[in-house]
Amino acid sequence: MRRINSARFTVATRGTSREINRSILLNLVRARQPISRADLARAMGVRRGSITLIVNDLLREGLIVEGASGQAARGRKPTFLYIDSRRRAIAAVDIRPSQTFVMLTDKLGKPLTGVVGMPTERDPRKLARVVARRITALLAEHSEIEACDGIGVVVPGMVERSSMTVLHAPTLGWRNISLGAPIAAASGLPVVVESAGRACALAQAWAMRDDAAIASGDIVYVSVSDGVGVGVTVHGELLRGRHNIAGEFGHVPLSIDGPRCSCGANGCWEAYISNRATLARYFGQPMEALGPRRTDQREFTINDLLARARAGDQKAAAALQATARYLGLGLASVVNALDPVRVYIGGEITAAWDLIEPTVRAALAERALMPAVAETDIRPVPTSEYPRLQGAAALVAAPPFAAPVVA
Ligand SMILES: [Zn+2]
């Protein structure tokens, strides 16, 4: 028998709760679909009657559907079960300082629509209304989608979970902004808000659930954009800490008297490796000076800088390599602290990964506590995979699959 996530999803038997069996069953359907009730009972080692009870619940909640009857060697033909990924959608929202992006995905996070972009309204109530309208319009355009299960929203900042309040998003200039409630009110849908780095880590851990080595290990996601967001998963679960800020390595200092960071402190990792930091280095100016200045500078983006570096512009290449070195030095702190099985890097800078990887690796090796740690698997996640929107979708999609660890 094929083992599914054996390291994490220990098959539950007598004495384990129905809630755990339910998560195990959902993950089995996801990994092996289409699958019959009889095969589920065999795979889980529990009685058919127990399977029927759980399946009935999941059918009623719309998490799984019954499909075409299959072929059996003899006897009654089984009806196969699937994750309902066709008619039910999740709305994914990525709020960034300049633009906000919206996409509909299926229940497993696969895109159902293209990505719609719009300018980011700094007034959160206005932004909530615009986002809700856009989601409603997308759902209307796709009449094959019968229901939307919720809206996942990622923001470049820290979030208080119970109230879905953005505590601090420096690049947006937001402090203590209630965001979940106005979007829920405007859309009539449940809303989950989370920091981008944390949501991206969740999405990667969730996508790797069928890989036992990853699912049982810890992963780190470093999102490099206007700011720097970091998410950490431990045994496939997000590390949150008491106040949901655990793993904010973006604001761990590389140097106590370094450049001013968006959080107000000096020398944070973010102040060395964010896109704004790289651009500031290129222009030979402090980051604060990169506000609305000369038009040619304001419209010059990190993508332009990467293109120039690739084309042989020495100044652009030097700015980029400095970022690569600081990225590696900060990564050394991350791997020394957490010793993860894999580190994902997201953001525009991944388009230049071939140019920066040797520098990142060298800096990491310089500070890693042991050679094996310096060899930590580092994977760039291309922007074409929309990792932040995948992260937003995972906020809604992943929780039903999250089984508590069965000791
Ligand atoms: Zn900071």
Instruction: Give 263 Cα–ligand 1 centroid separation in angstroms.
Output: 4
pLDDT at 326 over 80: yes
pLDDT band at 211 (very low <50, low <70, confident <90, very high): confident
Instruction: Give 248 Cα–ligand 1 centroid separation in angstroms.
Output: 9
Domain 88-201+391-401 -> CATH class = alpha beta
Instruction: Give 112 Cα–ligand 1 centroid separation in angstroms.
Output: 36
Instruction: Give 115 Cα–ligand 1 centroid separation in angstroms.
Output: 30
Instruction: Give 25 Cα–ligand 1 centroid separation in angstroms.
Output: 42
Q: The domain 212-385 is classified under which CATH number: 3.30.420.40, 3.20.80.10, 3.40.190.10, 3.30.470.10?
A: 3.30.420.40
Q: Where in the chain is the domain with CATH 3.30.420.40?
A: 88-201+391-401, 212-385
Mean pLDDT, rounded, for 397-401: 79
Mean pLDDT, rounded, for 347-365: 97
pLDDT at 235 over 90: no
Q: Where in the chain is the domain with CATH 1.10.10.10?
A: 6-83
**pLDDT, position 24:** 82
Percent of the chain with pLDDT over 70: 87
Q: Which pTM does this prediction carry?
A: 0.83
Taking only the tens place, the pLDDT of each residue in 92-133 is: 999 998 899 999 998 888 899 999 999 999 999 999 999 999
**pLDDT, position 151:** 97
Task: Give the range with max mean pLDDT: 35-39, 239-243, 280-284.
Answer: 280-284
pLDDT band at 287 (very low <50, low <70, confident <90, very high): confident
**pLDDT, position 291:** 54
Instruction: Give 268 Cα–ligand 1 centroid separation in angstroms.
Output: 5
**Contact in structure between 317 and 340 (CB atoms under 8 Å):** no
d(CA 218, CA 31): 21
Instruction: Give 269 Cα–ligand 1 centroid separation in angstroms.
Output: 7
pLDDT band at 2 (very low <50, low <70, confident <90, very high): very low
CATH code at 6-83: 1.10.10.10
Higher-scoring residue by pLDDT: 67, 289:
67
